[in-house]
Amino acid sequence: MISDLDMFTRLVVAAILSGIIGFERERFGRAAGLRTHILVGTGSALIMLTSMYMFDIYKGVAQVDPSRIAAQVVAGIGFLGAGTILRSQTSVRGLTTAASLWAVAAIGLAVGCGMFHGAEIATALVLVVLFVFSKLEWSLLKKDCFRTIVISTKGSAEELGKIREVLSKYGVEIKDFGIEKQEGKPSVLVRMHLKVLTNIAYDKIIFDITKLDGVDKANWE
């Protein structure tokens, strides 16, 4: 039987390890941040402890699989992870955060069953992926990605032509665009789906477009 002190230690360790990963997500303003990761990690550890406790109290009385309840964490975390994924017409965001939640659940289960070293190593590896690999992707992998820009403008052919010139200057390719009327306003919303390089200066594009005559504002979706 697991002692109260051991149970307390495992829950605290699970909260700390999952909190470290959650802090990294919180820094970048992700949908699931510090508190969400701590709750997932601690809850997963408690579920594993509950499974082990039930195995101990029913040992010799009934046939109990200690992994049965804990296994539901892996399936259940999928619903929570799905809530962090946002899909626009041309891109999907939140997959990394969803994966980090899944990893935190696994770390919580590991701590719950006493695999402290395995959980610590997994936490370190997750942090390496989140911190280091993200920088490598931006600095080394000059791959194309798709972004959407929304521009409030009068919508004349001349203004649209100037916007195209700015985008062309940065090597941006327009894949699709649409124009929406703004109720009660003389301006329109131009929504463009663009193919851009990951290392492009997004802020400079916005700055150059907003300097154009007839453009009220511009922002990335």
Report the alpha-carbon distance of residue 81 to residue 83 in Å, rounded.
5
Record the tokens describing residue 209, joined without a space: 């477009």
pLDDT at 121: 96
pLDDT at 88: 55
Report the alpha-carbon distance of residue 191 to residue 218 in Å, rounded.
10
- One domain, residues 135 and 153: no
pLDDT at 89: 52
Report the alpha-carbon distance of residue 60 to residue 153 in Å, rounded.
75
Share of residues in the chain with pLDDT > 70 (%): 89
pLDDT tens-digit readout, 9-29: 999 999 999 999 999 888 877
pLDDT at 118: 94
- One domain, residues 83 and 166: no
Q: Looking at 140, 172, 192, which one is the last position of a domain?
A: 140
Q: Looking at 140, 163, 191, which one is the last position of a domain?
A: 140
Per DSSP, 133 falls in state I
What is the number of H-type helices and E-type strands within the chain?
8, 6
Bridge partners (DSSP) of residue 220 are 149
Report the alpha-carbon distance of residue 51 to residue 168 in Å, rounded.
60
- One domain, residues 16 and 102: yes
Tell me the one-letter amino acid at 112.
Answer: G
Report the alpha-carbon distance of residue 53 to residue 48 in Å, rounded.
9
Tell me the one-letter amino acid at 13.
Answer: V
pLDDT at 87: 62
- One domain, residues 105 and 31: yes
**Cβ 41 vs Cβ 19: under 8 Å:** yes
- One domain, residues 92 and 29: yes
pLDDT at 140: 62
- One domain, residues 99 and 136: yes
SS3 of residue 60 by DSSP: coil
Task: Please tell me the pTM assigned to this model.
Answer: 0.63
Report the alpha-carbon distance of residue 103 to residue 73 in Å, rounded.
11
- One domain, residues 89 and 53: yes
pLDDT at 76: 83
pLDDT at 84: 75
- One domain, residues 181 and 214: yes
pLDDT at 41: 94
pLDDT band at 142 (very low <50, low <70, confident <90, very high): low
Q: Is the pLDDT of residue 182 over 80?
A: no
- Looking at the structure of the chain, the number of domains it has is 2
- One domain, residues 204 and 189: yes
Picking from 95, 90, 198, the residue whose alpha carbon sits closest to that of residue 149 is 90
Q: Is the pLDDT of residue 138 over 80?
A: no
pLDDT at 135: 72
- One domain, residues 59 and 161: no
Q: Looking at 140, 170, 193, which one is the last position of a domain?
A: 140
**Cβ 156 vs Cβ 202: under 8 Å:** no
**Domain of residue 47, residue span:** 4-140
* Residue predicted with more confidence, 133 or 100: 100
Measured CA to CA in angstroms, residue 32 lies from 57, 82, 89, 125 at distances of 36, 11, 22, 19
Q: What is the CATH number of the domain that holds 189?
A: 3.30.70.260
- One domain, residues 65 and 152: no
Report the alpha-carbon distance of residue 110 to residue 17 in Å, rounded.
11
Q: Is the pLDDT of residue 189 over 90?
A: no
Q: Is the pLDDT of residue 30 over 70?
A: yes
pLDDT at 6: 92
158 contacts: CB under 8 Å, gap ≥ 6: none
CB atoms under 10 Å from CB of 107, counted, come to 29
pLDDT tens-digit readout, 54-106: 877 767 666 767 677 778 887 788 777 777 776 655 556 778 888 899 999 99
- One domain, residues 151 and 120: no
Bridge partners (DSSP) of residue 197 are 144
Q: Is the pLDDT of residue 141 over 60?
A: no
Q: Is the dihedral of CA 126, 93, 196, 170 positive or negative?
A: negative
